[in-house]
Structure 1
Amino acid sequence: MSIDDVIAKSSFSMLEGKIDARILKVLKSMGFERPTRIQAETLPHLLQQKDLIGAAKTGSGKTLAFLIPIVDNLIKHKITQKHGTFCIILSPTRELALQTFDVLTKLLVEIDLSHCLIVGGEKKAKDVIKLQKGANIVVSTPGRLLDHMQNTEKFNFKNLKHLIVDEADKLLEAGFEKHVNGIVQLLPTNRQTVLFSATIDSKVKNLARLALRNNPVHISVKDDTISTVSRLQQGYCICPVEQRLAWLYKMLKKSKKFKVMVFFSSCKSVDFHYEFFKMHCKATVLSIHGKQSQARRKEAYHSFIKAKNGALFCTDVAARGLDIPCVDWIVQYDPPTDPKEYIHRVGRTARGLNNKGNAVILLRPEEEEFVKFLEKEKVYLDKYSFGDPPGEVQEMVEDIVIKNGVFKILARKAFLSFLRCYNKHPLNKIFNINNMDLKSAAKAFGFREQPDVDFLNNKKR
């Protein structure tokens, strides 16, 4: 019998007598009856407290794969607050940490284990109180946690038995390598260490050698035939640069009954498009990007989770790990930096065992080569046609730019940040600013006359 056959016949009920009954009860109440592939393959090893390196696509169910064994082990050892911190879970972003914490909170609804969330943007004094009281499970971003480990008195982690490094590749991309190394060096060596990552590159392997000491089990559930999940219907749309805003207007109007995530290349572009659609088109829109306050990002994240329809405008801060239920469409309005980022973006939909999703990327006519580039990574797109975009949208945004000085400043900043992202794009042979008509590009931000672009003055046009 193949591993696929085994997984198809497996269920969480098979763990009866092996893990605490309250965990199984909560899993059932959360609607989880059968494990995903990564859960089915890793749980037997993790329940035996083995070190593990797990490679799986985003949206594969990694969070429960590591939470179930941790909670069960702490129950078995009758851990209480006085024992201090027994588990640390590292996440690359505040949103992913919050999401992991939310799942953990649901899992512990009938279980008395203390847990806390430690991320930047919150008052440090509150963190200190939580840690000094004795948080058995700490979910955190690396920078803030290392600070507390070095400076917070009575933060007791000398009994720690579990270290989880989630989205390890993203942690390293975000520049957290020194922080993670610092954390590892301060922790007890007699522990279980688990590292999950969507991709296993040389940097992740180096981190694994440092953090994992006990001949780790290697689990990979990647599909060699395709880089995105089979339940995802994905395509691309060719659109002249000056018609981009009108195209997005039509796309959101067509999908107003659905839940949509729209990815932009910069925070300023998110702000501009959010202002236009929310305030001037009265669309149901939320926004998340890295320069917002923690409180605003948290509010937008929870609001979109609860929403039945509407759009979330975001940068790639939302591309990794966020488990937002029932996202129907992923729109890549601005190009990703590489195929890996493309895959992470579309991974926000078609999550779980039976869910389906749709994705579309907007390309200029000069950028259609990106479709062939993705095929080399085993990602295959259909060509979509949305028809002619509505002309009145262009008139509307140009009118607002002329009459509203604040909006004009927002539009100019967004236009310049859009060009800067193209100017430094890693795939500049495809996403090439030198074959872009800047006057036409400015129209997509509501300008009848192109604003001055001083950082391109020396470029060959």
Structure 2
Amino acid sequence: MCFVTEVSFCESKCQKTAKRIKKKNKSNSKIKTFTKKNKKKDSETVIIEKLQAKYIDPSQITKFGDFPLSSKTLKGLRECGYHKPTEIQKETIGLALQGKDILGAAQTGSGKTLAFLIPVLEKLYCNQWTRLDGVGALVITPTRELAYQIFETLRRIGEHHDFSAGLIIGGKDLKFERNRMDQCNIIICTPGRLLQHMDENPLFDCVNMKILVLDEADRCLDMGFEQTMNAIIANLPPKRQTLLFSATQTKSVKDLARLSLKDPSYISVHENSEFGTPKELSQSYVICELQDKLSILWSFIKNHSNKKIVVFFSSCKQVKYIYEIFCKLRPGLSLLPLYVLFATDLAARGLDFPEVHWVVQADCPEDVATYIHRVGRTARYHRGGESLLMLLPREIKMVDKLTEKKIPVQKIEINPIKLNNPVRKMEAFLAKDPTLKDTAQRAFVSYAKAVFLMKDKEIFDAQSLDTNSFAKSLGLAIPPRIRFLQRLNARKENSKNQKNSFNNKANNKTYFTTESDEDDKIKNKSAIHFNKTDSENSASDDDKPTNTPFHVSDDEDSDDDNILKVKRRDHDIELPTDREMADLDMGRNKNKKPITKAAAAKKILKKENCTKEKKSELAMQYEEEDEGGIDIEKAKLVLKEEDKFDKQLFKQKVKAKHKEEKRKLKEKKKKEEEEAKDEFGESESEEEPDLSWLPDPDKIYGEKTEEEKRKLRRNIDNLEEVLKKKKKHKIEQISSSLNVNEAEELAMMLLKNK
């Protein structure tokens, strides 16, 4: 409609101009007017065919317009300010548009997000995808923050397309997502929430899905997401295009086989470059003690107050405490936890923080890949940046590993005069605020756990940490208890003491067998096994063989049939006692060798000598047989016969138990009756009590009237009848109606009647 209105407006303007010229010149010359003709539009199918026929060599591409992209995608790229593609985009977009599987690896900040979002939009456009077709593309990322960033980029460059996109991450309203899953053409998600929808949401259907993208693929496929990703991949259609992107790309055959990649193209634009990180990134490291880290960090922030800084720690609890205490110390610039300034490795992958000047790694990264992703938050898109790595003296080996991966780092020295230590102020804040003190204690323990859980034990050793000094540097007067380290040390001490005690016993005892008794053979075999294991363990621990008084003999000229023998030279033979054999068995149990239930049962039977007597004739015959091995079929029959006697014995035990319970119940009832009789019945003693010492109630309370006496006699008669009939029942009800005087009178009369 706009185009037609514009044409009609041009025609009327030309006619008016012609009339004016005709009046001025007063000539009969005719003025011809030209109208713009509408061009016939090509159908969308023809446009798609033309685009697919334009795939060219990546080396000839200088701008996004050289790619065979739709006008809607190009318009979105222009509006977002994207004009020239980066190296990874040149190499991957053309291959992805042809439908090939891709493994893309490039340095951080090189534009990998557009390298897979553009093919996603073009894939669905060429297939003429509509909202009724359901899910056509899945983009999986390891973190929610990265998923949100990708979604915002897709929303801006795909604004002119008719596709619908959904952000499916944890922490959002699950019901809201569930009701709209069937309307999404492109889903950007994290693995956990996607699997939850696959399992619980009947509206989710990815049967027609065309393209799968894994951003930060090495993190998605590692051990943390292994089970989740296996379950997700099992629900995806086998015929699909798969794109994998990361700065540290996986080449594991196992990982690629899980994804069912078909002849993937591996593209690494910086694989042959001089450095593994961007050239514009200046990298340095400093060696410091653990207790000096916070003072160095504080002084660094104070001296770079006009810079944007990202600081990485090992755990969230460290981030929380450092953020809170530094906010109280007021360094002179704004502080933010998790994202900018203080962060964990959660923010190390994919996130684009604009114009970050410094990346400070207060704690050593787990490996080289983590280091690359951390420093990748600066020096993005050919901009400059700097990084600082703080290392403990033991962690200096990380520098060698970085050098092997072509990462240049330079050592710098810190002037101790310029350091500003805020420990005194921190101690004062912790003394005032118990909550802040608890946060500091949690940060202390979480750092020790993070170091303990690191895989590379050559670099990380939790036992070597100076915990007292580190606690003081956090503002804590006393270091908190690290329970898991205490338990670990206790186990080591127990195992060491046990080894020493056994070695002392072994130096004074001899274990030797030449008898044919089965029990003695078992004892000697256990002694051989334990001493051999103990010597191996001590050799592995101390790199020295243990001096034991035993040696294993397997000579062919031995007189006995046993293969293994234990001998002691130049000493008399002395057999071990039962207590020593029990100690040996305990030591063997703690040598990391599991004991089955059957073995434990045999051990108990041998220890207590409680062999069960066989009652059936078949079992007795089976025991008397002297054949080698076990006849399984015959053993089954024996068990069935013995089971009959066991059931009878069990019934007898149940009956005896019931009889015993009945007997105890009768005794209890009898005892209760006797106690009641003693209380309300006849007294056991026949002699009457001496009541001469009691005062005369008539003198104290006065004499009673005839009416009161009659009433008292009636009550006594009633009470006697009740006692005769029910003995003790309802006495409390009758006696409660009497006052004090009547009660005393009643007591005197009862005593006289007796």
Name the TM-score class by shorter chain.
0.7 to 0.9
Deviations 1:173-212 (A, max 9, x none): 362223222222222233211122333446x432322323
- The aligned residue for residue 64 of structure 1 is 114
State the shift of 1:34 in Å: 1.8
**Match among 254, 258, 264 for residue 206 of structure 1:** 254
**Match among 85, 95, 99 for residue 135 of structure 2:** 85
Larger deviation, residues 83-92 vs 364-373: 364-373
**Match among 427, 434, 459 for residue 398 of structure 1:** 427
State the shift of 1:340 in Å: 1.5
For 1:73-112, list aligned pairs within 5 A. Answer: 73-112=123-162
- The aligned residue for residue 62 of structure 2 is 10
Counterpart of 2:460 in 1: which secondary structure? coil
Tell me, yes or no, if structure 1 residue 216 matches structure 2 residue 249: no
Larger deviation, residues 28-37 vs 329-338: 28-37
Counterpart of 2:224 in 1: which secondary structure? coil
The structure whose Rg is larger is 2
State the shift of 1:449 in Å: 3.3
Residues in 1 aligned to 2:104 and 2:174: alpha-carbon distance in whole angstroms? 32
> Residues 93 and 443 (structure 1 numbering): CA distance in 2 closer, same or farther, change over 3 Å?
same
Tell me, yes or no, if structure 1 residue 356 matches structure 2 residue 384: yes
Contact kept in structure 2, 1:235 and 1:384, CA below 8 Å:
yes
Tell me, yes or no, if structure 1 residue 387 matches structure 2 residue 415: yes
> Residues 383 and 19 (structure 1 numbering): CA distance in 2 closer, same or farther, change over 3 Å?
same
Contact kept in structure 1, 2:315 and 2:447, CA below 8 Å:
yes
**Match among 352, 363, 366 for residue 323 of structure 1:** 352
Tell me, yes or no, if structure 1 residue 183 matches structure 2 residue 232: yes
> Residues 273 and 120 (structure 1 numbering): CA distance in 2 closer, same or farther, change over 3 Å?
same
State the shift of 1:223 in Å: 3.0
Larger deviation, residues 446-455 vs 135-144: 446-455
Tell me, yes or no, if structure 1 residue 335 matches structure 2 residue 387: no
Deviations 1:28-81 (A, max 9, x none): 332322212111111110111212222223332211101101112222333221
Contact kept in structure 2, 1:232 and 1:357, CA below 8 Å:
yes
> Residues 45 and 9 (structure 1 numbering): CA distance in 2 closer, same or farther, change over 3 Å?
closer
Larger deviation, residues 260-269 vs 425-434: 425-434
> Residues 201 and 72 (structure 1 numbering): CA distance in 2 closer, same or farther, change over 3 Å?
closer
State the shift of 1:100 in Å: 1.1
- Unaligned runs of 5+ residues in structure 2 are 1-56, 494-754
Q: Which amino acid aligns with 1:368?
A: I
Residues in 2 aligned to 1:114 and 1:312: alpha-carbon distance in whole angstroms? 35
Contact kept in structure 2, 1:371 and 1:380, CA below 8 Å:
no
Tell me, yes or no, if structure 1 residue 423 matches structure 2 residue 452: yes
State the shift of 1:87 in Å: 0.5
> Residues 38 and 393 (structure 1 numbering): CA distance in 2 closer, same or farther, change over 3 Å?
same
Counterpart of 1:194 in 2: which secondary structure? strand
Residues in 1 aligned to 2:145 and 2:188: alpha-carbon distance in whole angstroms? 11
Tell me, yes or no, if structure 1 residue 443 matches structure 2 residue 472: yes
Contact kept in structure 2, 1:263 and 1:332, CA below 8 Å:
yes
Q: Taking CA–CA contacts closer than 8 Å with sequence separation of 6 or more, which of the two structures ends up with the larger relative contact order?
A: 1
- The aligned residue for residue 157 of structure 1 is 206
Contact kept in structure 2, 1:237 and 1:363, CA below 8 Å:
yes
Q: Which amino acid aligns with 2:157?
A: L
Q: Which amino acid aligns with 1:19?
A: L
**Match among 153, 172, 178 for residue 122 of structure 1:** 172
Residues in 1 aligned to 2:255 and 2:58: alpha-carbon distance in whole angstroms? 32
Residues in 2 aligned to 1:223 and 1:51: alpha-carbon distance in whole angstroms? 19
Aligned residues: 431
Residues in 2 aligned to 1:57 and 1:159: alpha-carbon distance in whole angstroms? 33
> Residues 14 and 424 (structure 1 numbering): CA distance in 2 closer, same or farther, change over 3 Å?
same
Residues in 2 aligned to 1:127 and 1:334: alpha-carbon distance in whole angstroms? 38
Contact kept in structure 1, 2:140 and 2:189, CA below 8 Å:
yes
Larger deviation, residues 122-131 vs 184-193: 184-193
Larger deviation, residues 447-456 vs 395-404: 447-456
**Match among 42, 53, 56 for residue 92 of structure 2:** 42
Contact kept in structure 1, 2:284 and 2:389, CA below 8 Å:
yes
- The aligned residue for residue 278 of structure 2 is 229
> Residues 211 and 118 (structure 1 numbering): CA distance in 2 closer, same or farther, change over 3 Å?
same
> Residues 342 and 349 (structure 1 numbering): CA distance in 2 closer, same or farther, change over 3 Å?
same
State the shift of 1:7 in Å: 5.9
> Residues 453 and 186 (structure 1 numbering): CA distance in 2 closer, same or farther, change over 3 Å?
closer
Residues in 2 aligned to 1:209 and 1:455: alpha-carbon distance in whole angstroms? 39
Contact kept in structure 2, 1:265 and 1:418, CA below 8 Å:
yes
Residues in 2 aligned to 1:393 and 1:250: alpha-carbon distance in whole angstroms? 9
> Residues 7 and 255 (structure 1 numbering): CA distance in 2 closer, same or farther, change over 3 Å?
farther
Counterpart of 1:175 in 2: which secondary structure? helix
Residues in 2 aligned to 1:265 and 1:11: alpha-carbon distance in whole angstroms? 41
State the shift of 1:213 in Å: 4.2
**Match among 55, 63, 73 for residue 105 of structure 2:** 55
TM-score, structure 2 as length reference = 0.54
> Residues 43 and 385 (structure 1 numbering): CA distance in 2 closer, same or farther, change over 3 Å?
same
Counterpart of 1:19 in 2: which secondary structure? coil
- Could you say which structure has the higher helix fraction? 2
Residues in 2 aligned to 1:232 and 1:445: alpha-carbon distance in whole angstroms? 31
Residues in 2 aligned to 1:78 and 1:235: alpha-carbon distance in whole angstroms? 51
TM-score, structure 1 as length reference = 0.87
Residues in 2 aligned to 1:172 and 1:205: alpha-carbon distance in whole angstroms? 12
> Residues 157 and 370 (structure 1 numbering): CA distance in 2 closer, same or farther, change over 3 Å?
closer
Contact kept in structure 2, 1:85 and 1:159, CA below 8 Å:
yes
Larger deviation, residues 274-283 vs 342-351: 274-283
Tell me, yes or no, if structure 1 residue 277 matches structure 2 residue 306: no
Deviations 1:399-428 (A, max 9, x none): 112221111100011011112222333233
Q: Which amino acid aligns with 2:409?
A: L
State the shift of 1:447 in Å: 1.8
> Residues 336 and 213 (structure 1 numbering): CA distance in 2 closer, same or farther, change over 3 Å?
closer
**Match among 241, 246, 252 for residue 295 of structure 2:** 246
Counterpart of 1:193 in 2: which secondary structure? strand
Counterpart of 1:336 in 2: which secondary structure? coil
Contact kept in structure 1, 2:217 and 2:250, CA below 8 Å:
no
Deviations 1:278-333 (A, max 9, x none): 24426412222xxxxxxxxxxxx5xxxxxxxxx43111111111122211111100
- Unaligned runs of 5+ residues in structure 1 are 289-300, 302-310
Residues in 2 aligned to 1:30 and 1:174: alpha-carbon distance in whole angstroms? 37
